[in-house]
Structure 1
Amino acid sequence: MSTLTGTGADTGGPTAAKPRGGIARSVADSLVVTRRNLIRMTRIPEMVIFGLVQPVMFVVLFSYVFGGSMSVGGNTDPEVYRNFLMAGIFAQTVTFATAGAGAGIADDMHKGLVDRFRSLPMARGAVLTGRTLADLVQTALTVVVLAIVGVLVGWRIHNGFLKALGAFALLLLLGYAFSWIGALIGLTVRTPEAATSGGLIWLFPVTFVSNAFVDPGMMASWIRPIAEWNPFSATVQAARELFGNPGVVRSDAWPMQHPVWASVLWSLLIIVVFRTLSVRKYRSAAA
Protein backbone atom coordinates (compact mmCIF):
# COMPACT_ATOMS: atom_id res chain seq x y z
CA MET A 1 0.00 0.00 0.00
CA SER A 2 1.52 3.27 -1.07
CA THR A 3 2.03 6.11 1.35
CA LEU A 4 1.72 9.81 0.67
CA THR A 5 5.00 11.69 0.76
CA GLY A 6 5.11 15.03 2.52
CA THR A 7 5.11 18.15 0.39
CA GLY A 8 7.55 20.95 0.81
CA ALA A 9 4.89 22.82 2.80
CA ASP A 10 4.61 19.83 5.20
CA THR A 11 8.29 19.19 5.64
CA GLY A 12 9.60 22.74 5.48
CA GLY A 13 11.70 21.78 2.44
CA PRO A 14 12.86 24.11 -0.30
CA THR A 15 9.52 23.97 -2.12
CA ALA A 16 7.65 25.52 0.81
CA ALA A 17 5.71 28.56 -0.39
CA LYS A 18 5.65 31.60 1.81
CA PRO A 19 2.46 33.54 1.27
CA ARG A 20 2.97 37.25 0.89
CA GLY A 21 1.32 39.63 3.27
CA GLY A 22 -1.44 41.93 2.13
CA ILE A 23 0.75 45.00 1.74
CA ALA A 24 3.61 43.14 0.01
CA ARG A 25 1.18 41.51 -2.38
CA SER A 26 -0.50 44.82 -3.18
CA VAL A 27 2.86 46.51 -3.85
CA ALA A 28 4.08 43.68 -6.08
CA ASP A 29 0.81 43.56 -8.04
CA SER A 30 0.78 47.33 -8.42
CA LEU A 31 4.30 47.30 -9.86
CA VAL A 32 3.30 44.60 -12.37
CA VAL A 33 0.36 46.71 -13.55
CA THR A 34 2.60 49.79 -13.66
CA ARG A 35 5.02 47.95 -15.93
CA ARG A 36 2.15 46.85 -18.15
CA ASN A 37 0.95 50.42 -18.58
CA LEU A 38 4.44 51.78 -19.22
CA ILE A 39 5.00 49.18 -21.95
CA ARG A 40 1.66 50.16 -23.44
CA MET A 41 2.71 53.83 -23.49
CA THR A 42 5.91 53.02 -25.38
CA ARG A 43 3.85 51.21 -28.00
CA ILE A 44 1.64 54.27 -28.48
CA PRO A 45 4.26 57.05 -28.69
CA GLU A 46 1.75 59.63 -29.90
CA MET A 47 0.24 59.62 -26.40
CA VAL A 48 3.55 60.78 -24.97
CA ILE A 49 4.23 63.24 -27.80
CA PHE A 50 0.85 64.97 -27.52
CA GLY A 51 1.29 65.11 -23.75
CA LEU A 52 4.55 67.00 -24.30
CA VAL A 53 3.29 69.40 -26.97
CA GLN A 54 0.48 71.00 -24.94
CA PRO A 55 2.53 72.33 -21.99
CA VAL A 56 5.25 73.56 -24.35
CA MET A 57 2.59 75.53 -26.24
CA PHE A 58 1.35 77.04 -22.97
CA VAL A 59 4.87 78.19 -22.07
CA VAL A 60 5.43 79.83 -25.45
CA LEU A 61 1.98 81.43 -25.65
CA PHE A 62 1.94 82.85 -22.13
CA SER A 63 5.58 83.95 -22.31
CA TYR A 64 5.55 85.74 -25.66
CA VAL A 65 1.87 86.58 -26.25
CA PHE A 66 0.72 87.61 -22.77
CA GLY A 67 4.05 88.20 -21.03
CA GLY A 68 4.44 91.80 -22.13
CA SER A 69 1.04 92.83 -20.71
CA MET A 70 1.33 91.06 -17.33
CA SER A 71 2.52 92.74 -14.14
CA VAL A 72 4.32 90.96 -11.31
CA GLY A 73 4.50 93.16 -8.24
CA GLY A 74 4.24 96.22 -10.46
CA ASN A 75 7.02 94.99 -12.76
CA THR A 76 5.95 94.49 -16.39
CA ASP A 77 9.28 93.06 -17.58
CA PRO A 78 8.43 89.97 -19.70
CA GLU A 79 11.44 88.10 -18.29
CA VAL A 80 10.15 88.58 -14.76
CA TYR A 81 6.76 87.23 -15.80
CA ARG A 82 8.35 84.16 -17.43
CA ASN A 83 10.02 83.28 -14.14
CA PHE A 84 6.75 83.93 -12.31
CA LEU A 85 4.85 81.83 -14.84
CA MET A 86 6.84 78.60 -14.83
CA ALA A 87 5.71 77.29 -11.44
CA GLY A 88 2.10 77.73 -12.57
CA ILE A 89 2.76 75.97 -15.88
CA PHE A 90 4.47 73.08 -14.07
CA ALA A 91 1.49 72.71 -11.74
CA GLN A 92 -1.01 72.96 -14.59
CA THR A 93 0.87 70.29 -16.53
CA VAL A 94 0.94 67.74 -13.70
CA THR A 95 -2.74 68.27 -12.92
CA PHE A 96 -3.92 68.13 -16.53
CA ALA A 97 -2.54 64.59 -16.64
CA THR A 98 -5.67 63.77 -14.63
CA ALA A 99 -7.74 63.66 -17.81
CA GLY A 100 -5.42 61.08 -19.34
CA ALA A 101 -5.59 58.90 -16.24
CA GLY A 102 -9.37 58.99 -16.21
CA ALA A 103 -9.62 58.25 -19.94
CA GLY A 104 -7.19 55.33 -19.65
CA ILE A 105 -9.10 53.72 -16.82
CA ALA A 106 -12.42 54.29 -18.59
CA ASP A 107 -10.96 52.66 -21.70
CA ASP A 108 -9.83 49.63 -19.70
CA MET A 109 -13.29 49.37 -18.18
CA HIS A 110 -14.96 49.72 -21.58
CA LYS A 111 -12.80 46.97 -23.10
CA GLY A 112 -13.53 44.55 -20.27
CA LEU A 113 -10.05 44.61 -18.80
CA VAL A 114 -11.57 44.75 -15.33
CA ASP A 115 -13.13 41.34 -15.89
CA ARG A 116 -9.76 39.91 -16.94
CA PHE A 117 -7.99 41.27 -13.89
CA ARG A 118 -10.82 40.06 -11.68
CA SER A 119 -10.07 36.47 -12.73
CA LEU A 120 -6.47 36.80 -11.52
CA PRO A 121 -5.29 36.33 -7.91
CA MET A 122 -4.25 39.93 -7.42
CA ALA A 123 -4.99 42.78 -5.08
CA ARG A 124 -8.04 44.72 -6.20
CA GLY A 125 -6.50 48.15 -5.68
CA ALA A 126 -3.40 47.21 -7.69
CA VAL A 127 -5.08 47.95 -11.02
CA LEU A 128 -5.72 51.57 -10.08
CA THR A 129 -2.44 52.07 -8.23
CA GLY A 130 -0.48 50.67 -11.16
CA ARG A 131 -2.27 52.96 -13.57
CA THR A 132 -1.69 56.08 -11.48
CA LEU A 133 1.99 55.22 -10.96
CA ALA A 134 2.49 54.77 -14.71
CA ASP A 135 0.86 58.14 -15.30
CA LEU A 136 3.20 59.63 -12.69
CA VAL A 137 6.22 58.36 -14.64
CA GLN A 138 4.88 59.91 -17.85
CA THR A 139 4.17 63.17 -16.02
CA ALA A 140 7.72 63.25 -14.64
CA LEU A 141 9.07 62.90 -18.20
CA THR A 142 6.86 65.77 -19.31
CA VAL A 143 8.10 67.96 -16.44
CA VAL A 144 11.72 67.31 -17.45
CA VAL A 145 11.05 68.39 -21.03
CA LEU A 146 9.08 71.39 -19.80
CA ALA A 147 11.94 72.46 -17.52
CA ILE A 148 14.31 72.40 -20.50
CA VAL A 149 11.90 74.55 -22.51
CA GLY A 150 11.58 76.90 -19.54
CA VAL A 151 15.34 77.36 -19.40
CA LEU A 152 15.36 78.12 -23.13
CA VAL A 153 12.80 80.93 -22.70
CA GLY A 154 14.67 82.46 -19.76
CA TRP A 155 13.42 80.67 -16.62
CA ARG A 156 16.01 80.14 -13.87
CA ILE A 157 16.16 78.69 -10.36
CA HIS A 158 17.84 80.78 -7.67
CA ASN A 159 17.72 78.74 -4.45
CA GLY A 160 19.92 75.82 -5.34
CA PHE A 161 19.50 72.36 -6.81
CA LEU A 162 18.18 70.59 -3.69
CA LYS A 163 15.35 73.05 -3.14
CA ALA A 164 14.48 72.81 -6.82
CA LEU A 165 14.22 69.03 -6.43
CA GLY A 166 11.91 69.61 -3.49
CA ALA A 167 9.72 71.84 -5.66
CA PHE A 168 9.50 69.19 -8.38
CA ALA A 169 8.68 66.57 -5.76
CA LEU A 170 5.75 68.68 -4.50
CA LEU A 171 4.54 69.20 -8.06
CA LEU A 172 4.62 65.47 -8.81
CA LEU A 173 2.90 64.70 -5.50
CA LEU A 174 0.09 67.07 -6.49
CA GLY A 175 -0.13 65.44 -9.92
CA TYR A 176 -0.31 61.98 -8.34
CA ALA A 177 -3.04 63.16 -5.97
CA PHE A 178 -5.11 64.60 -8.81
CA SER A 179 -4.66 61.39 -10.83
CA TRP A 180 -6.81 59.64 -8.18
CA ILE A 181 -9.56 62.14 -8.91
CA GLY A 182 -9.19 61.17 -12.56
CA ALA A 183 -9.33 57.49 -11.61
CA LEU A 184 -12.65 58.02 -9.84
CA ILE A 185 -14.03 59.89 -12.85
CA GLY A 186 -12.85 57.12 -15.19
CA LEU A 187 -14.60 54.50 -13.08
CA THR A 188 -17.81 56.53 -12.91
CA VAL A 189 -18.42 57.41 -16.57
CA ARG A 190 -19.20 54.96 -19.36
CA THR A 191 -16.82 55.99 -22.15
CA PRO A 192 -13.23 57.28 -22.49
CA GLU A 193 -14.55 60.39 -24.27
CA ALA A 194 -16.75 61.24 -21.30
CA ALA A 195 -13.81 60.66 -18.96
CA THR A 196 -11.65 63.10 -20.95
CA SER A 197 -14.34 65.79 -20.85
CA GLY A 198 -15.14 65.13 -17.21
CA GLY A 199 -11.46 65.17 -16.32
CA LEU A 200 -10.88 68.59 -17.86
CA ILE A 201 -14.02 70.58 -17.17
CA TRP A 202 -13.36 70.98 -13.43
CA LEU A 203 -9.62 71.55 -13.90
CA PHE A 204 -10.02 74.89 -15.66
CA PRO A 205 -11.56 76.73 -12.68
CA VAL A 206 -9.11 74.99 -10.32
CA THR A 207 -6.08 76.15 -12.32
CA PHE A 208 -7.27 79.62 -13.30
CA VAL A 209 -8.86 80.59 -9.96
CA SER A 210 -5.41 80.39 -8.42
CA ASN A 211 -2.10 82.20 -8.24
CA ALA A 212 -0.70 80.32 -11.24
CA PHE A 213 -0.96 83.08 -13.83
CA VAL A 214 -1.92 86.26 -11.92
CA ASP A 215 -1.62 87.68 -8.41
CA PRO A 216 -4.79 86.76 -6.43
CA GLY A 217 -4.66 90.29 -5.02
CA MET A 218 -5.85 91.49 -8.42
CA MET A 219 -8.97 89.33 -8.24
CA ALA A 220 -12.39 90.31 -6.93
CA SER A 221 -12.57 90.30 -3.12
CA TRP A 222 -15.01 87.38 -3.00
CA ILE A 223 -12.91 85.11 -5.18
CA ARG A 224 -9.51 85.85 -3.63
CA PRO A 225 -10.00 83.54 -0.58
CA ILE A 226 -10.96 80.71 -2.95
CA ALA A 227 -7.72 81.19 -4.86
CA GLU A 228 -5.65 81.39 -1.67
CA TRP A 229 -7.10 78.19 -0.19
CA ASN A 230 -6.95 76.31 -3.48
CA PRO A 231 -4.66 73.23 -3.15
CA PHE A 232 -3.30 74.12 -6.57
CA SER A 233 -2.27 77.58 -5.33
CA ALA A 234 -0.44 76.13 -2.34
CA THR A 235 1.76 73.99 -4.56
CA VAL A 236 2.43 76.86 -6.98
CA GLN A 237 3.37 79.13 -4.07
CA ALA A 238 5.64 76.46 -2.59
CA ALA A 239 7.34 75.86 -5.94
CA ARG A 240 8.00 79.57 -6.42
CA GLU A 241 9.55 79.82 -2.97
CA LEU A 242 11.75 76.79 -3.52
CA PHE A 243 12.76 77.87 -7.04
CA GLY A 244 13.42 81.40 -5.78
CA ASN A 245 11.22 82.85 -8.52
CA PRO A 246 9.54 86.27 -8.30
CA GLY A 247 5.93 86.81 -7.38
CA VAL A 248 5.79 85.00 -4.04
CA VAL A 249 2.61 86.73 -2.91
CA ARG A 250 2.16 87.18 0.83
CA SER A 251 -1.27 87.11 2.41
CA ASP A 252 -2.91 86.28 5.73
CA ALA A 253 -4.24 82.91 4.45
CA TRP A 254 -2.49 79.98 6.16
CA PRO A 255 -1.72 78.09 2.90
CA MET A 256 0.05 81.16 1.55
CA GLN A 257 1.99 81.65 4.78
CA HIS A 258 3.08 77.99 4.92
CA PRO A 259 2.84 76.81 1.30
CA VAL A 260 5.16 73.80 1.57
CA TRP A 261 3.26 72.27 4.46
CA ALA A 262 -0.06 73.21 2.89
CA SER A 263 0.95 71.58 -0.39
CA VAL A 264 1.94 68.33 1.32
CA LEU A 265 -1.16 68.21 3.49
CA TRP A 266 -3.56 69.00 0.64
CA SER A 267 -1.98 66.38 -1.63
CA LEU A 268 -1.99 63.65 1.02
CA LEU A 269 -5.60 64.43 1.92
CA ILE A 270 -6.67 64.19 -1.71
CA ILE A 271 -4.83 60.87 -2.12
CA VAL A 272 -6.41 59.33 0.98
CA VAL A 273 -9.94 60.45 0.12
CA PHE A 274 -10.00 59.74 -3.60
CA ARG A 275 -7.96 56.52 -3.47
CA THR A 276 -10.45 55.18 -0.93
CA LEU A 277 -13.40 56.21 -3.09
CA SER A 278 -11.78 54.89 -6.28
CA VAL A 279 -10.92 51.47 -4.85
CA ARG A 280 -14.42 51.17 -3.42
CA LYS A 281 -15.91 52.09 -6.82
CA TYR A 282 -13.61 49.61 -8.56
CA ARG A 283 -14.63 46.80 -6.23
CA SER A 284 -18.33 47.50 -6.76
CA ALA A 285 -17.81 47.60 -10.53
CA ALA A 286 -15.92 44.30 -10.47
CA ALA A 287 -18.37 42.58 -8.13
Structure 2
Amino acid sequence: MAVTRAPGGVGFWAAAWVVSQRGIRRTLRTPQIIVMGLVQSVAFLLIFRYVFGGAIGTGGVGYVDYMIPGLLTVSGLFAGMSAAVAVAEDLASGYVDRLRSLPMPRTAALAGQVAADTVRVALILTVSAALAFAVGFRVHAGWGPALAGLGLCVLFGFAFVWMFVALGLLTANPQAAQGVGFLALPLSFVSGAYVPVETMPGWLRGFAEHQPVTVMMDSVRVLTQGDAALAHGTGYYVWRALAWTTAIVLASATVAVTRFRKT
Protein backbone atom coordinates (compact mmCIF):
# COMPACT_ATOMS: atom_id res chain seq x y z
CA MET A 1 0.00 0.00 0.00
CA ALA A 2 1.61 3.20 -1.18
CA VAL A 3 -0.03 5.47 1.35
CA THR A 4 0.09 4.29 4.96
CA ARG A 5 -0.86 7.54 6.66
CA ALA A 6 -2.90 10.53 5.61
CA PRO A 7 -1.29 13.92 6.37
CA GLY A 8 -2.21 14.82 9.93
CA GLY A 9 -4.35 11.72 10.26
CA VAL A 10 -4.24 8.08 11.31
CA GLY A 11 -2.35 5.24 9.69
CA PHE A 12 -3.79 2.69 7.29
CA TRP A 13 -4.11 -0.18 9.74
CA ALA A 14 -5.63 1.91 12.53
CA ALA A 15 -8.22 3.35 10.13
CA ALA A 16 -9.00 -0.09 8.67
CA TRP A 17 -9.49 -1.45 12.20
CA VAL A 18 -12.02 1.26 13.06
CA VAL A 19 -13.94 0.73 9.81
CA SER A 20 -13.99 -3.05 10.35
CA GLN A 21 -15.39 -2.55 13.85
CA ARG A 22 -18.21 -0.52 12.38
CA GLY A 23 -18.93 -3.30 9.88
CA ILE A 24 -18.96 -5.96 12.58
CA ARG A 25 -21.29 -3.90 14.76
CA ARG A 26 -23.63 -3.39 11.82
CA THR A 27 -23.78 -7.16 11.33
CA LEU A 28 -24.44 -7.79 15.02
CA ARG A 29 -27.23 -5.20 15.02
CA THR A 30 -28.85 -6.83 11.99
CA PRO A 31 -28.54 -10.52 12.85
CA GLN A 32 -30.85 -11.44 9.97
CA ILE A 33 -27.79 -11.08 7.73
CA ILE A 34 -26.14 -14.01 9.49
CA VAL A 35 -29.42 -15.89 9.92
CA MET A 36 -30.23 -15.73 6.21
CA GLY A 37 -26.74 -16.94 5.34
CA LEU A 38 -27.15 -19.87 7.72
CA VAL A 39 -30.67 -20.66 6.50
CA GLN A 40 -29.40 -20.89 2.93
CA SER A 41 -26.51 -23.13 3.95
CA VAL A 42 -28.71 -25.38 6.09
CA ALA A 43 -31.36 -25.64 3.35
CA PHE A 44 -28.78 -26.78 0.81
CA LEU A 45 -27.29 -29.16 3.38
CA LEU A 46 -30.60 -30.88 4.15
CA ILE A 47 -31.83 -30.98 0.56
CA PHE A 48 -28.70 -32.53 -0.91
CA ARG A 49 -28.10 -34.79 2.09
CA TYR A 50 -31.58 -36.27 2.41
CA VAL A 51 -33.41 -35.56 -0.87
CA PHE A 52 -30.83 -35.95 -3.65
CA GLY A 53 -28.03 -37.79 -1.84
CA GLY A 54 -29.47 -41.25 -2.33
CA ALA A 55 -29.64 -40.82 -6.10
CA ILE A 56 -26.10 -39.52 -6.69
CA GLY A 57 -23.16 -41.89 -7.01
CA THR A 58 -19.74 -40.70 -5.85
CA GLY A 59 -17.58 -43.78 -6.21
CA GLY A 60 -15.85 -44.98 -3.05
CA VAL A 61 -16.68 -41.89 -0.97
CA GLY A 62 -19.98 -41.62 0.88
CA TYR A 63 -22.18 -38.86 -0.50
CA VAL A 64 -22.25 -36.84 2.71
CA ASP A 65 -18.44 -36.87 2.90
CA TYR A 66 -18.27 -35.93 -0.79
CA MET A 67 -20.85 -33.15 -0.60
CA ILE A 68 -19.91 -31.30 2.60
CA PRO A 69 -16.54 -29.92 1.35
CA GLY A 70 -18.35 -28.57 -1.70
CA LEU A 71 -21.14 -27.14 0.42
CA LEU A 72 -18.70 -25.33 2.70
CA THR A 73 -16.87 -23.85 -0.27
CA VAL A 74 -20.12 -22.64 -1.81
CA SER A 75 -21.31 -21.34 1.58
CA GLY A 76 -18.26 -19.10 1.76
CA LEU A 77 -19.03 -17.87 -1.74
CA PHE A 78 -22.68 -17.12 -0.97
CA ALA A 79 -21.88 -15.56 2.41
CA GLY A 80 -19.73 -12.98 0.66
CA MET A 81 -22.54 -11.87 -1.65
CA SER A 82 -23.98 -9.37 0.83
CA ALA A 83 -20.69 -7.43 0.68
CA ALA A 84 -21.74 -6.03 -2.70
CA VAL A 85 -25.01 -4.72 -1.26
CA ALA A 86 -23.31 -3.29 1.84
CA VAL A 87 -20.79 -1.32 -0.21
CA ALA A 88 -23.46 -0.04 -2.58
CA GLU A 89 -25.59 1.06 0.38
CA ASP A 90 -22.63 2.90 1.91
CA LEU A 91 -22.11 4.74 -1.36
CA ALA A 92 -25.79 5.65 -1.69
CA SER A 93 -26.11 6.79 1.95
CA GLY A 94 -23.14 9.15 1.82
CA TYR A 95 -21.13 7.15 4.36
CA VAL A 96 -18.25 6.78 1.92
CA ASP A 97 -18.25 10.53 1.29
CA ARG A 98 -17.93 11.15 5.01
CA LEU A 99 -14.97 8.80 5.17
CA ARG A 100 -13.32 10.70 2.32
CA SER A 101 -13.48 13.90 4.34
CA LEU A 102 -11.49 12.34 7.19
CA PRO A 103 -7.68 12.43 7.39
CA MET A 104 -7.22 8.72 6.66
CA PRO A 105 -5.99 6.64 3.71
CA ARG A 106 -8.95 6.08 1.41
CA THR A 107 -8.25 2.42 0.80
CA ALA A 108 -8.45 1.75 4.54
CA ALA A 109 -12.22 1.94 4.17
CA LEU A 110 -12.15 -0.94 1.68
CA ALA A 111 -9.80 -3.02 3.81
CA GLY A 112 -11.98 -2.52 6.88
CA GLN A 113 -15.14 -3.48 5.01
CA VAL A 114 -13.50 -6.64 3.65
CA ALA A 115 -12.21 -7.60 7.10
CA ALA A 116 -15.67 -7.21 8.66
CA ASP A 117 -17.33 -9.28 5.94
CA THR A 118 -14.65 -11.96 6.23
CA VAL A 119 -15.40 -12.28 9.96
CA ARG A 120 -19.06 -12.85 9.05
CA VAL A 121 -18.11 -15.44 6.44
CA ALA A 122 -15.92 -17.26 8.99
CA LEU A 123 -18.78 -17.36 11.49
CA ILE A 124 -21.23 -18.80 8.95
CA LEU A 125 -18.70 -21.39 7.82
CA THR A 126 -17.94 -22.47 11.39
CA VAL A 127 -21.61 -23.00 12.21
CA SER A 128 -22.18 -24.78 8.89
CA ALA A 129 -19.25 -27.11 9.57
CA ALA A 130 -20.64 -27.95 13.00
CA LEU A 131 -24.04 -28.77 11.47
CA ALA A 132 -22.34 -30.97 8.89
CA PHE A 133 -21.18 -33.34 11.63
CA ALA A 134 -24.75 -33.55 12.90
CA VAL A 135 -25.91 -35.02 9.57
CA GLY A 136 -23.18 -37.63 9.33
CA PHE A 137 -20.09 -35.94 7.90
CA ARG A 138 -16.82 -37.40 9.14
CA VAL A 139 -13.14 -36.49 8.77
CA HIS A 140 -10.88 -39.28 7.46
CA ALA A 141 -7.55 -37.47 7.05
CA GLY A 142 -6.96 -36.12 10.55
CA TRP A 143 -8.09 -32.98 12.33
CA GLY A 144 -5.05 -30.92 11.37
CA PRO A 145 -5.69 -31.16 7.60
CA ALA A 146 -9.43 -30.75 8.22
CA LEU A 147 -8.89 -27.46 10.08
CA ALA A 148 -6.60 -26.39 7.24
CA GLY A 149 -9.47 -27.15 4.86
CA LEU A 150 -11.80 -24.92 6.89
CA GLY A 151 -9.14 -22.21 6.80
CA LEU A 152 -9.00 -22.53 3.01
CA CYS A 153 -12.77 -22.04 2.86
CA VAL A 154 -12.44 -18.83 4.89
CA LEU A 155 -9.60 -17.69 2.64
CA PHE A 156 -11.72 -18.43 -0.42
CA GLY A 157 -14.58 -16.46 1.12
CA PHE A 158 -12.15 -13.58 1.71
CA ALA A 159 -11.24 -13.63 -2.00
CA PHE A 160 -14.86 -13.50 -3.08
CA VAL A 161 -15.64 -10.75 -0.57
CA TRP A 162 -13.12 -8.66 -2.52
CA MET A 163 -14.88 -9.61 -5.74
CA PHE A 164 -18.30 -8.63 -4.41
CA VAL A 165 -16.93 -5.39 -2.98
CA ALA A 166 -15.63 -4.57 -6.46
CA LEU A 167 -19.04 -5.40 -7.96
CA GLY A 168 -20.79 -3.24 -5.36
CA LEU A 169 -18.55 -0.30 -6.25
CA LEU A 170 -19.10 -0.82 -9.97
CA THR A 171 -22.89 -0.91 -9.65
CA ALA A 172 -23.16 1.73 -6.88
CA ASN A 173 -26.81 0.73 -6.41
CA PRO A 174 -28.07 -1.69 -3.72
CA GLN A 175 -30.71 -3.30 -5.94
CA ALA A 176 -28.33 -3.74 -8.85
CA ALA A 177 -25.62 -5.06 -6.53
CA GLN A 178 -27.98 -7.68 -5.18
CA GLY A 179 -28.78 -8.84 -8.69
CA VAL A 180 -25.15 -8.94 -9.78
CA GLY A 181 -24.30 -11.08 -6.78
CA PHE A 182 -26.35 -13.94 -8.16
CA LEU A 183 -23.82 -14.33 -10.93
CA ALA A 184 -22.18 -16.63 -8.39
CA LEU A 185 -24.91 -19.22 -8.94
CA PRO A 186 -23.38 -20.69 -12.12
CA LEU A 187 -20.03 -21.05 -10.36
CA SER A 188 -21.64 -23.00 -7.53
CA PHE A 189 -23.84 -25.36 -9.54
CA VAL A 190 -21.62 -25.90 -12.59
CA SER A 191 -18.95 -27.41 -10.38
CA GLY A 192 -18.12 -30.56 -8.48
CA ALA A 193 -19.89 -29.36 -5.34
CA TYR A 194 -22.89 -31.66 -5.46
CA VAL A 195 -22.23 -34.08 -8.32
CA PRO A 196 -19.04 -35.49 -9.87
CA VAL A 197 -18.00 -33.45 -12.91
CA GLU A 198 -17.54 -36.72 -14.80
CA THR A 199 -21.32 -36.96 -15.11
CA MET A 200 -21.55 -33.66 -17.02
CA PRO A 201 -21.53 -33.28 -20.84
CA GLY A 202 -18.06 -32.99 -22.33
CA TRP A 203 -18.55 -29.37 -23.43
CA LEU A 204 -19.44 -28.40 -19.84
CA ARG A 205 -17.02 -30.65 -18.02
CA GLY A 206 -13.91 -28.69 -19.05
CA PHE A 207 -15.26 -25.51 -17.44
CA ALA A 208 -16.57 -27.33 -14.36
CA GLU A 209 -13.24 -29.05 -13.70
CA HIS A 210 -11.04 -25.98 -13.85
CA GLN A 211 -13.16 -23.14 -12.50
CA PRO A 212 -12.16 -21.82 -9.04
CA VAL A 213 -15.04 -23.27 -7.01
CA THR A 214 -14.26 -26.84 -8.12
CA VAL A 215 -10.53 -26.33 -7.59
CA MET A 216 -11.12 -25.09 -4.05
CA MET A 217 -13.61 -27.79 -3.08
CA ASP A 218 -11.26 -30.48 -4.40
CA SER A 219 -8.57 -29.18 -2.05
CA VAL A 220 -10.98 -29.18 0.90
CA ARG A 221 -12.17 -32.65 -0.06
CA VAL A 222 -8.67 -34.11 -0.12
CA LEU A 223 -7.81 -32.40 3.19
CA THR A 224 -10.83 -33.94 4.92
CA GLN A 225 -11.03 -37.32 3.17
CA GLY A 226 -7.41 -38.06 2.28
CA ASP A 227 -5.52 -38.62 -0.95
CA ALA A 228 -7.68 -41.63 -1.82
CA ALA A 229 -10.65 -39.33 -2.38
CA LEU A 230 -9.13 -37.84 -5.56
CA ALA A 231 -6.66 -38.71 -8.29
CA HIS A 232 -3.73 -36.50 -7.19
CA GLY A 233 -1.92 -35.80 -3.94
CA THR A 234 -2.89 -33.13 -1.40
CA GLY A 235 -0.25 -30.61 -2.48
CA TYR A 236 -1.50 -30.59 -6.08
CA TYR A 237 -4.98 -29.46 -5.08
CA VAL A 238 -3.94 -27.06 -2.32
CA TRP A 239 -1.49 -25.17 -4.54
CA ARG A 240 -4.08 -24.86 -7.31
CA ALA A 241 -6.59 -23.52 -4.79
CA LEU A 242 -4.10 -21.00 -3.42
CA ALA A 243 -3.20 -19.87 -6.94
CA TRP A 244 -6.84 -19.25 -7.82
CA THR A 245 -7.46 -17.45 -4.52
CA THR A 246 -4.46 -15.18 -5.03
CA ALA A 247 -5.54 -14.36 -8.59
CA ILE A 248 -9.08 -13.48 -7.47
CA VAL A 249 -7.83 -11.25 -4.65
CA LEU A 250 -5.33 -9.41 -6.84
CA ALA A 251 -7.78 -8.84 -9.70
CA SER A 252 -10.73 -7.88 -7.48
CA ALA A 253 -8.70 -5.64 -5.16
CA THR A 254 -7.21 -3.82 -8.14
CA VAL A 255 -10.64 -3.16 -9.61
CA ALA A 256 -12.09 -2.17 -6.22
CA VAL A 257 -9.29 0.25 -5.31
CA THR A 258 -9.30 1.83 -8.77
CA ARG A 259 -13.06 2.28 -8.73
CA PHE A 260 -13.09 3.55 -5.15
CA ARG A 261 -10.60 6.27 -5.97
CA LYS A 262 -12.70 7.43 -8.92
CA THR A 263 -16.11 7.46 -7.25
Which TM-score bucket, shorter chain as reference? over 0.9
For 1:248, which of 229, 238, 244 is the aligned residue? 229
For 1:97, which of 64, 70, 79 is the aligned residue? 79
1:271 aligns with 2:253: no
1:211 aligns with 2:189: no
- How much has 1:97 moved relative to structure 2? 2.0
Letter of the structure 1 residue corresponding to residue 59 of structure 2: G
1:129 is matched with 111
2:208 is matched with 227
1:33 is matched with 19
Give SS of 2:161's match: helix
Cα–Cα, structure 1 residues 182 and 161, in superposed 2: closer, same or farther, change >3 Å? same
Consecutive unaligned residues of structure 2, counting only runs of 5 or more, are none
Q: CA RMSD of the aligned region, Å?
A: 2.2
Give SS of 1:172's match: helix
For 1:65, which of 43, 47, 51 is the aligned residue? 51
* Structure-1-length-normalised TM-score: 0.85
Consecutive unaligned residues of structure 1, counting only runs of 5 or more, are 1-19
Tell me which of the two structures has the higher relative contact order, counting C-alpha pairs closer than 8 angstroms and 6 or more residues apart. 2
1:142 is matched with 124
Q: For the residues of structure 2 that align with 1:242 and 1:67, how far apart are their CA atoms?
A: 22
Give aligned pairs, total.
258
1:183 aligns with 2:160: no
Letter of the structure 1 residue corresponding to residue 252 of structure 2: F
Give SS of 2:102's match: coil
Give SS of 1:58's match: helix
Question: Deviation string for 1:40-90 (max 9, x for gaps)?
Answer: 111111212112111011100110010111101177xxxx11111001110
Deviation larger for 118-127 or 21-30: 21-30
- How much has 1:22 moved relative to structure 2? 4.6
Q: For the residues of structure 1 that align with 2:128 and 2:112, how far apart are their CA atoms?
A: 24
Cα–Cα, structure 1 residues 247 and 99, in superposed 2: closer, same or farther, change >3 Å? farther
Q: For the residues of structure 2 that align with 1:248 and 1:29, how far apart are their CA atoms?
A: 45
Letter of the structure 2 residue corresponding to residue 45 of structure 1: P
- How much has 1:223 moved relative to structure 2? 1.5
Contact 2:80–2:121 (Cα < 8 Å) also in 1? no
Letter of the structure 1 residue corresponding to residue 38 of structure 2: L
Give SS of 1:56's match: helix
Give SS of 1:102's match: helix
Q: For the residues of structure 2 that align with 1:247 and 1:152, how far apart are their CA atoms?
A: 24
Letter of the structure 1 residue corresponding to residue 175 of structure 2: E
Contact 1:84–1:245 (Cα < 8 Å) also in 2? no
Letter of the structure 1 residue corresponding to residue 122 of structure 2: A
Q: For the residues of structure 2 that align with 1:166 and 1:246, how far apart are their CA atoms?
A: 15
- How much has 1:92 moved relative to structure 2? 0.6
1:259 is matched with 237
Identity value in percent: 34
Question: Deviation string for 1:166-193 (max 9, x for gaps)?
Answer: 1011111111111111011101114212
Q: For the residues of structure 2 that align with 1:273 and 1:216, how far apart are their CA atoms?
A: 27
Answer with 1 or 2: which has the greater Rg: 1
Contact 2:4–2:105 (Cα < 8 Å) also in 1? no
